[in-house]
């Protein structure tokens, strides 16, 4: 991986400020300093003339690298296994694939392909579930460090209701999670973060969830898990935890709901649960391609938005068949009428907010990391830069990721010379 270098990117530039506000330049520039940060951004007329080499991206768009807020590393090879509901799909396809990660060398080989796939799809940051295996997760972090990507990742915790080779006593799982945090939290110059990662309530004892909540708060770690994906799963949770008022309460009563928590799906939630998510500062990773694929239902976007919950998007590979954030955004758009500006925001800054990395990435602004994607729209795309971005979303197969940069380093593709 090469060092970042001082350079001046020239082209159409888009950077989200908020759900309804975008900074846009038809002929703009992004100056990257040799620490890999954005030194300045603006209209080409105002570009500094003492900067490094000029890289003109032609008709391509320059925007923040995408953020995939929810994706499973070991599931890259079980994508598009169609026809089963969640619980049966986990048992038949996912658990056998995850069991193979008992072999750290297998984990390393899969991790190489996985992080390459993220970068090739314009993703600069992702919230990743590994497997229950400690050594395999160390390997995955090593590969993540070498990939140049910005990654939030955790070892999956399961202690009940899963195959014997994928469960472990609660205290052992927590100790392994803390060992990973000790080694990897803030590593690779601050690009890597760890998360306490209970899979979901059905594979967790009350003891595991309590330990996980205590560990996250004592060590100040992020939390990622799943919430209310399918009615059958919600039913299982209410049987396992009859004293809790709902699914979210099971997590909340054990200290797992807070400012640094991300919940995938949250489809079958009441307005009250959305209000509690919002007031706790937790985020949702909305995974519309996965939800359609597994027949989980449609995310109630208007309800979650009324509660003002932070909502990023996730591919949820392997239930989501494709890594492409453009494909996920297209399905997100079909949930409701979405403004173009919101589509850009959901794919970038909102995901960074969900993963608590918005101080580093998610938009192109002075002193943020130069995490960006150079995206070539369909040949006949027209309109202003935001309109051309929307055409990338809806005509994804005709769109090309020219290059993905994280901290000013090319992690996929090539910049024009
Ligand atoms: Zn998932």
Model confidence band, residue 256 (pLDDT cutoffs 50, 70, 90): very high
SS3 at position 174: helix
Both tokens of residue 53?
Answer: 């080499």
CA of 264 to the centre of ligand 1 (A): 6
Beta strands 261-265 and 123-129, pairing class: unpaired
Beta strands 192-198 and 156-157, pairing class: parallel
Q: Which residues have a Cβ under 8 Å from the Cβ of 397 and sit 6 or more positions away?
A: none
What is the average pLDDT across 165-188? 98
Both tokens of residue 328?
Answer: 């996920």
pLDDT digits (tens, 9 = 90+) for 282-315: 999 999 999 999 999 999 999 999 999 999 999 9
pLDDT digits (tens, 9 = 90+) for 222-254: 999 999 999 999 999 999 999 999 999 999 999
* Helices 134-147 & 104-120 angle (0-180, nearest 10): 30
Partners of 18 in beta bridges:
21
CB atoms within 10 A of CB 107: 26
CA of 206 to the centre of ligand 1 (A): 21
CA of 70 to the centre of ligand 1 (A): 6
CA of 293 to the centre of ligand 1 (A): 12
CA of 397 to the centre of ligand 1 (A): 25
The rounded distance, in Å, linking the Cα atoms of 73 and 197 is: 13
CA of 55 to the centre of ligand 1 (A): 38
Burial readout 336-363 (b: 16 or more C-beta within 10 A, e: otherwise) = eebebbbbbbbbbbbbbbbbbbbebbbb
Burial readout 156-178 (b: 16 or more C-beta within 10 A, e: otherwise) = bbbbeebeeebbbebeebbebbb
Q: Does domain 7-64+364-413 have CATH number 3.10.310.10?
A: no
Q: What is the CATH number of domain 66-354?
A: 3.20.20.140
pLDDT digits (tens, 9 = 90+) for 105-122: 999 999 999 999 999 999
SS3 at position 142: helix
Per-residue CA distances from 163 to 69, 92, 184, 279 (Å): 27, 11, 28, 36
CA of 312 to the centre of ligand 1 (A): 14
N-term to C-term CA, the chain: 18
Q: Is residue 339 a contact partner of residue 29, using CB atoms and an 8 Å limit?
A: no
Q: Which residues have a Cβ under 8 Å from the Cβ of 245 and sit 6 or more positions away?
A: none
CA of 39 to the centre of ligand 1 (A): 36
Beta strand extents in 90-149 (DSSP E only): 123-129
CA of 199 to the centre of ligand 1 (A): 8
pLDDT digits (tens, 9 = 90+) for 15-59: 999 999 999 999 999 999 999 999 999 999 999 988 789 999 999
The rounded distance, in Å, linking the Cα atoms of 180 and 132 is: 12
CA of 226 to the centre of ligand 1 (A): 6
Q: Is residue 366 a contact partner of residue 69, using CB atoms and an 8 Å limit?
A: no
> What local confidence, expressed as pLDDT, does residue 50 receive?
85
Model confidence band, residue 5 (pLDDT cutoffs 50, 70, 90): confident
The rounded distance, in Å, linking the Cα atoms of 34 and 205 is: 48
User: What does pLDDT average to over the chain?
Assistant: 97
Which residue has 């935001």 as its token pair? Answer: 386
Of 236, 204, 222, 310, nearest to 266 by C-alpha is: 310
Percent of the chain with pLDDT over 90: 97
CA of 316 to the centre of ligand 1 (A): 5
pLDDT digits (tens, 9 = 90+) for 328-369: 999 999 999 899 999 999 999 999 999 999 999 999 999 999
Q: Is residue 374 a contact partner of residue 413, using CB atoms and an 8 Å limit?
A: yes
The rounded distance, in Å, linking the Cα atoms of 286 and 69 is: 8
> What local confidence, expressed as pLDDT, does residue 417 receive?
85
What is the average pLDDT across 55-67? 98
CA of 182 to the centre of ligand 1 (A): 25
Tell me whether residue 122 is exposed, middle or buried, using C-beta atoms within 10 angstroms of its C-beta: 0 to 12, 13 to 18, 19 or more.
buried
Q: Which residues have a Cβ under 8 Å from the Cβ of 120 and sit 6 or more positions away?
A: 323, 401, 404, 412, 413
> What local confidence, expressed as pLDDT, does residue 3 receive?
62
> What local confidence, expressed as pLDDT, does residue 1 receive?
60
CB atoms within 10 A of CB 302: 11
The domain limits of the chain are: 7-64+364-413, 66-354
Beta strands 150-154 and 192-198, pairing class: parallel
């Amino acid at each position: 991986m090469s060092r970042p270098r001082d350079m001046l990117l020239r082209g159409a530039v888009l950077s989200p400020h908020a759900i309804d506000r975008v900074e846009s330049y038809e002929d703009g520039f992004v100056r990257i300093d040799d620490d890999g940060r954005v030194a300045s951004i603006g209209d080409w007329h105002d570009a500094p003339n003492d900067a490094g080499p000029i890289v003109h991206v032609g008709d391509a768009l320059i925007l923040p690298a995408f953020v995939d807020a929810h994706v499973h590393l070991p599931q890259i090879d079980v994508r598009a296994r169609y026809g089963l509901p969640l619980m049966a799909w986990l048992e038949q396809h996912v658990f056998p694939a995850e069991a193979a990660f008992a072999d750290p060398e297998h984990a390393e080989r899969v991790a190489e392909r996985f992080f390459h796939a993220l970068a090739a799809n314009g993703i600069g940051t992702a919230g990743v579930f590994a497997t229950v295996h400690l050594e395999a997760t160390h390997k995955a972090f090593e590969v993540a460090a070498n990939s140049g990507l910005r990654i939030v990742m955790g070892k999956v915790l399961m202690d009940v209701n899963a195959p014997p080779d994928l469960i472990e006593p609660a205290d052992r799982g927590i100790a392994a999670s803390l060992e990973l945090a000790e080694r990897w939290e803030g590593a690779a110059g601050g690009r890597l973060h760890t998360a306490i990662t209970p899979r979901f309530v059905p594979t967790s004892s009350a003891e595991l969830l309590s330990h996980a909540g205590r560990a996250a708060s004592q060590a100040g770690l992020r939390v990622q898990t799943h919430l209310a994906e399918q009615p059958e799963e919600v039913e299982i949770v209410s049987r396992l935890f009859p004293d809790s008022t709902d699914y979210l309460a099971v997590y909340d009563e054990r200290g797992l709901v807070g400012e640094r928590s991300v919940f995938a799906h949250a489809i079958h939630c009441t307005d009250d649960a959305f209000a509690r998510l919002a007031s706790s500062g937790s985020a949702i990773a909305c995974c519309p391609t996965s939800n359609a694929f597994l027949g989980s239902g449609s995310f109630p976007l208007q309800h979650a938005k009324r509660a003002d919950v932070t909502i990023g998007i996730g591919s949820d590979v392997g239930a989501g068949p494709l890594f492409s954030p453009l494909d996920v955004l297209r399905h997100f758009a079909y949930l409701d009428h979405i403004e173009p500006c919101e589509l850009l925001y959901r794919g970038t800054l909102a995901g960074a907010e969900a993963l608590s990395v918005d101080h580093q990435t998610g938009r192109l602004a002075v002193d943020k990391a130069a995490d960006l994607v150079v995206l070539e729209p369909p040949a006949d795309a027209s309109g202003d830069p935001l309109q051309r971005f929307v055409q990338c979303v809806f005509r994804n197969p005709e769109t090309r990721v020219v290059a993905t940069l994280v901290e000013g380093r090319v992690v996929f593709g090539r910049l024009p010379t």
